[in-house]
Structure formats: C-alpha cells, structure tokens
C-alpha cells in the first residue's frame, strides 16, 4: 500500500468516525394529557421548535428569548406551551453546552385522552332500581 493511499484511507476513516459522533440526535417518545387545558412543558434554557404533520407551528429561541406561536399553539409562556387542541407534536430541542458544544434532541408527543369520568357515589341508585325488574323478567323467561 502506498503512503498516499494509506493517508487517504486514514483520513476517510477518521471523517466517518467523527461524523458518527457529531450526528447523534437523541430521539424519544413522550405523552401529554388532553384533559382540561392540554399543555406540554419545555426547557426555557434551550431552543425549541414544535411541529405537527411536518409543519412548524411554534418556536422558542434563546437569542433574545424570541418566540412564535400559531394554531394549534394557544400560548407559549413560563416553560409551558398551551395547546388549542390535542394533536401529535414533534419538538426539536437544541441544548447549548459548555465549550460551544450543542446537543439536539427530538421528542414525539402523543396525546393521552381523558379517561371516562367516574360515577358519582349517588349516581348508581337509579341503576339499582332496575335490578328487581330485570330479576322478574329473567324469572319469567325461565318459567316459560
């Protein structure tokens, strides 16, 4: 192997290895509740860009604390984004670390529907009134 070919191969391997380390984007899934006012918390010390169906609808930039919010975003304040409605949300978060390094994270948020409201303690009463009627109907069907 000639020295120039060896050097070229070494540079190529080093470039691929460096690219593999720098392009690592953390990806994870999370959920948020749709009860009352749907909201997603965010870190105000990082840059955030929110999207739905690959369309950006909100951003929060560290430089000058600039922010923008349009539907389905209702409000963007104090580390919380309030949503007008429940939708799938993807957020790209850019964390600036010491020494000028940057870490990117992508989070996919899935809305959790509200569970059915529990029956109030007194609401079972009317159902219990039907029980004797059902018992009579079953008894009549058995005797026939």
The per-residue pLDDT for range 87-96, each reduced to its tens digit, is 999 999 998 8
Contact 50, 58 (CB under 8 A): yes
Sign of CA dihedral 118, 124, 126, 131: positive
Q: In this predicted structure, what is the pLDDT of residue 1? A: 52
Q: What is the DSSP letter of 9?
A: H
Distance CA 20, CA 14 (A): 10
20-55: pLDDT as tens digits: 344 578 999 999 999 888 999 999 889 999 999 999
Q: Decide the pairing of beta strands 26-33 and 102-112.
A: parallel
Tokens 């690219």 sit on residue: 19
Structure-model confidence comparison of residues 31 and 120, the more confident one = 31
């Amino acid at each position: 192997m000639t020295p120039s070919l060896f050097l070229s191969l070494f540079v190529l391997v080093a470039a691929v290895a460096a690219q593999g380390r720098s392009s690592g984007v953390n990806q994870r899934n999370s959920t948020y509740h749709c009860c009352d006012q749907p909201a997603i918390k965010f870190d105000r010390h990082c840059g955030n860009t929110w999207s739905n169906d690959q369309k950006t609808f909100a951003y929060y930039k560290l430089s000058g604390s600039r922010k923008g919010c349009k539907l389905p975003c209702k409000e963007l304040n104090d580390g919380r984004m309030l949503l007008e409605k429940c939708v799938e949300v993807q957020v790209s978060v850019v964390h600036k670390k010491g020494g000028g390094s940057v870490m990117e994270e992508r989070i996919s948020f899935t809305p959790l529907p509200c569970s059915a409201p529990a029956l109030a303690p007194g609401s079972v009463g009317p159902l219990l009134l039907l029980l004797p009627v059902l018992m009579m109907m079953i008894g009549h069907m058995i005797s026939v």
